[in-house]
Amino acid sequence: MPFVARVLLPLPLPEAFDYAVPEEISLSVGDHVAAPLGPRLVRGVVTELRDAHGVNRPLKPIAARLDDAALPANTLAFVDWAARYACEPPGEALAMALRGLRASQPAPERLVQATGAAPFRTTPARERVLKAATQPMRAAALAAAAEVSAGVIKGLIDDGALEVVFAQEQAAFSEPDPALPAFDLNPSQAAAADILVKLTQAGDFQVALLDGVTGSGKTEVYLEAVAAVLRADPAAQVLVLLPEIALTQAVIARFAARFGAEPAEWHSGIAPPRRRRVWEAVVAGRCRIVIGARSALFLPFPNLRLIVVDEEHDASFKQEDGFIYHARDLAVVRAKIEAATVVLASATPSLESIWNAQGGRYTWIRLSSRHGVARLPEIELIDMREAPPERGRWLSPRLVAAMAETYGRGEQSLLFLNRRGYAPLVLCKACGERMTAPDTDSWLVEHRYSNRLVCHLTGFSMPKPAACPHCGTKDSLTAIGPGVERLEEEARGLFPEARVAVFSSDTVMDAAGAREMVGRMAGGEIDILVATQAAAKGHNFPGLTLVGVVDADLGLKGGDLRAAERTYQLLAQVAGRAGRAERPGRALIQTYAPEHQVMGALKAGDRDGFLAAEAEMRELSGLPPYGRLAAVILSSPDFAKLDAFAKALAAAAPSADGVEVYGPADAPLALIRGRRRKRLLVRADRRVNIQAYLEAWRARVKVPGAVRMTVDVDPYSFL
């Protein structure tokens, strides 16, 4: 009986399509196929096979089965779950799982191998070649192994004793050795590692929150869980998710030291051909450990036994465009589908993870002290209303004095400001015009290094004009506020003999640059590091004893429900870079609101008290984790159509108990790339299936062609 294949295409289509399976094609669930869609052939993945009984309509036949390795069943299940959770077409999630196949196959490698035939004549050189040709090899490598010239290889090919073959090069990933000696663990670390190992040995779905202060050695702890997984199953695979590419090199170095082999990398800085080889090695089981960014969660692991989400609180785990998801939350789901263990590690865990740990849903493992003799830094607040900086400067006299003391002792300082460039705003002194990106509300940021004005939202860039584009006045454009480049300028002026460097995504473009910068800082080649959040987490700088936070109030501005939590996390993390070795550290925080609960909690070291107060506020308001949120973002180049549809959409919202809909309202960034934007916000009780509500709401309206509608379940950005 002929078969019907249900094929999911990596496109924004509402469902998978049925195709007839030709008799000459043998298929299994997970296979890649070429399927007709209109006039073209499209890659798809078989999600279901059934006999054709009862099919009473003609179906297009599948054109071919593709050679790529089939997606594992658990990967398909994860793709389906992720799509339903995000209220997105399933093809969008499948596209994430197939990202590694976007690069074409590299050209096959030219190799030579023995044919078994004897050459017409033999010589000692030829005999050495045939003895060394135990497997297909590059001609140059074979010649080197046999200590002969290339002419000897060519002669044996001409004689028929060697033949040329073409083979697809496979990425080589050395096998990790879990039997190598472990790092020295203190009693607290050893106890935590023992708990994690027992969780991995349970053989079912487990979640652990590894909650340890900065410098407590969380990485060394979860490395022992990795070792236990690798020892227990010679085919087991491990995934470690990191929020920043800049962190990958340091973590890879620790894995290499522990297991004698470097894990695979997966992030946007890896070239597409390399990503393809990693993808192929993962699905074939040849790659045991992957360290990567959030998208690595969609790799086709056939035997995923452990997922580690390092710095689990970090907002970078939230994908804000394209297929919208939060990698921490989906990591827990993927571990459940795989019956695996997931470890969420952080010095400042998210309120959601703390809530789950307090409720017993997660195993809560705490490390309350730093490793070895290191102590947590002393945190002091500088009230900028009482001790302002000198005119034209941004560093308070108290912070400058502390930097001078630190420099005089031969120790390092870090100045933290989460603003790239030289200044966040450029305006005209003559007419007051604020420079913004074309067709966008975002301000242009001045970059002195390149003498350009840059929009960090859209990527627009232009040379800084000599005159105001609005009024034409020459030399009237002035920089307002500081960025890291401006702080660097001030630090160089104050300490002309000091070695000063900037660590931001503008100065460190890739993983290699991050590795170099971290190495210079760790090696004592930098006296003062001016940095954005690129240096705020995960790095260990033994000589760093002073952290100065320049604008601590920056993250508290705006209506983000997580603003206080994020600010506390970021400042606690950056303060935690100080004093991680023998010498004690301190952090000076410049603020205009020392009475704010975030600043008080930082000074007192009272994280738990801060989280308790934050949780109480959220519970009273029914906000996450005590309630659920979803954002609906509308955009269009036609403001009239956008406004009309936004009102119609709000009017069509289903009435449901435990659900509130707010809006529509203009988005804070109301214009991006020529498209006007409006937002609606849905708040629901936890018992409400918010995805079902959103689907029912969406089914009530027809979105005009000029309007784009995006759904963001559990939004992290409210812009």
Range of the domain at 496: 378-419+482-615
Cα dihedral 534, 537, 539, 541, rounded to 10, equals: 100
Q: What is the mean pLDDT of residues 682-706?
A: 95
Residue 707 has pLDDT above 70, yes or no: yes
Residue 240 has pLDDT above 80, yes or no: yes
Whether 338 and 217 map to the same domain: the answer is: yes
Residue 535 has pLDDT above 80, yes or no: no
Cα dihedral 388, 392, 398, 404, rounded to 10, equals: 180
Q: What is the mean pLDDT of residues 163-178?
A: 82
Whether 581 and 700 map to the same domain: the answer is: no
On whether the CB atoms of residues 233 and 305 are closer than 8 A, the answer is yes
Predicted pLDDT at 417: 93
In a domain, 340, yes or no: yes
> Tell me, what amino acid is at 159?
D
Sign of CA dihedral 220, 319, 693, 670: positive
Residue 237 has pLDDT above 80, yes or no: yes
Residue at which a domain ends, from 97, 130, 152: 97
Digit-coded pLDDT (tens) for 414-437: 999 988 888 888 999 999 889 998
Predicted pLDDT at 305: 97
Digit-coded pLDDT (tens) for 455-481: 988 889 999 999 999 899 998 999 888
Whether 392 and 348 map to the same domain: the answer is: no
Helix then strand then coil, in percent of the chain rounded to 5, is 35, 25, 40
Predicted pLDDT at 132: 92
Tell me which of 352 and 216 has the higher pLDDT. 352
Rounded CA-CA distance 239/226 in Å is 9
On whether the CB atoms of residues 566 and 560 are closer than 8 A, the answer is yes
The strand pair at 659-672 and 206-212 is best described as unpaired
Predicted pLDDT at 372: 66
Predicted pLDDT at 496: 95
Q: What is the mean pLDDT of residues 530-550?
A: 86
Helix (H) or strand (E) segment spanning residue 134: none
Digit-coded pLDDT (tens) for 566-578: 999 999 999 988 8
606: CATH: 3.40.50.300
Q: What is the mean pLDDT of residues 18-24?
A: 92
Predicted pLDDT at 53: 79
Whether 398 and 533 map to the same domain: the answer is: yes
In a domain, 103, yes or no: no
656: CATH: 3.30.70.600
Predicted pLDDT at 536: 72
Domain count, the chain: 6
Residue 168 has pLDDT above 70, yes or no: no
Whether 316 and 394 map to the same domain: the answer is: no
Residue 5 has pLDDT above 70, yes or no: yes
Rounded mean pLDDT of the chain? 91
Contacts of 311 (CB under 8 A, 6+ apart): 242, 243, 244, 247, 345, 346, 537, 538
For the record, the structure tokens of 130 come out as 């045939």
Predicted pLDDT at 269: 82
Q: What is the mean pLDDT of residues 120-129?
A: 91
Sign of CA dihedral 208, 214, 217, 223: positive
Contacts of 212 (CB under 8 A, 6+ apart): 192, 218, 221, 345, 347, 366, 367, 368
The gap from C-alpha 617 to its chain's centroid, in whole angstroms, comes to: 29
Digit-coded pLDDT (tens) for 431-455: 988 999 888 888 999 998 888 999 9
Helix (H) or strand (E) segment spanning residue 88: none
In a domain, 439, yes or no: yes
In a domain, 181, yes or no: no
Whether 427 and 559 map to the same domain: the answer is: no
On whether the CB atoms of residues 129 and 137 are closer than 8 A, the answer is no
Rounded CA-CA distance 538/543 in Å is 15
Whether 90 and 127 map to the same domain: the answer is: no
Predicted pLDDT at 215: 83
Digit-coded pLDDT (tens) for 337-378: 999 999 999 999 999 999 999 999 999 999 988 776 667 889
The half-sphere exposure of 159 on its side-chain side, counting CA atoms within 13 A, is 18
Predicted pLDDT at 353: 97
With both helix axes pointing from N to C terminus, report the angle between 73-86 and 327-338 in degrees, rounded to the nearest 10: 140
In a domain, 621, yes or no: no
Whether 258 and 235 map to the same domain: the answer is: yes
In a domain, 177, yes or no: no
Picking from 615, 544, 623, the residue whose alpha carbon sits closest to that of residue 586 is: 544
Contacts of 336 (CB under 8 A, 6+ apart): 205
Note if the bond before 664 is cis, omega within 30 degrees: yes
The half-sphere exposure of 70 on its side-chain side, counting CA atoms within 13 A, is 14
Q: Between the CA of residue 169 and those of 20, 166, 184, what are the distances in Å? A: 34, 9, 39
In a domain, 176, yes or no: no
What number of residues does the chain have? 719
Whether 444 and 503 map to the same domain: the answer is: no
On whether the CB atoms of residues 126 and 119 are closer than 8 A, the answer is yes
Q: Which of the listed ranges 52-56, 165-169, 266-270, 653-657 does the model predict with the highest average pLDDT?
A: 653-657
Q: What is the mean pLDDT of residues 697-708?
A: 94
The model's pTM is: 0.88
Rounded CA-CA distance 553/536 in Å is 16
Predicted pLDDT at 170: 63
The half-sphere exposure of 56 on its side-chain side, counting CA atoms within 13 A, is 1
7: CATH: 3.40.1440.60
What angle is formed at CA 536 by the lines to CA 531 and CA 538, rounded to 5 degrees?
Answer: 135
In a domain, 174, yes or no: no
Whether 388 and 449 map to the same domain: the answer is: no
Rounded CA-CA distance 50/5 in Å is 7
Rounded CA-CA distance 5/296 in Å is 28
DSSP letters for 381-394: EEETTTSPPPTT--
Residue at which a domain ends, from 590, 615, 640: 615
Residue at which a domain ends, from 615, 638, 659: 615
Whether 162 and 52 map to the same domain: the answer is: no
DSSP E strand boundaries for 487-645: 500-503, 528-531, 544-549, 586-591, 627-636
Q: Bridge-partner residues for 586, per DSSP?
A: 378, 546
Whether 66 and 136 map to the same domain: the answer is: no
DSSP E strand boundaries for 401-492: 412-416, 425-428, 445-447, 452-454, 461-463, 477-480
Q: What is the mean pLDDT of residues 508-521?
A: 81
Residue 193 has pLDDT above 80, yes or no: yes
With both helix axes pointing from N to C terminus, report the angle between 124-132 and 139-146 in degrees, rounded to the nearest 10: 120
Rounded CA-CA distance 581/371 in Å is 9
Rounded CA-CA distance 51/53 in Å is 6
On whether the CB atoms of residues 166 and 110 are closer than 8 A, the answer is yes
Digit-coded pLDDT (tens) for 571-604: 999 998 888 777 889 999 999 999 999 999 999 9
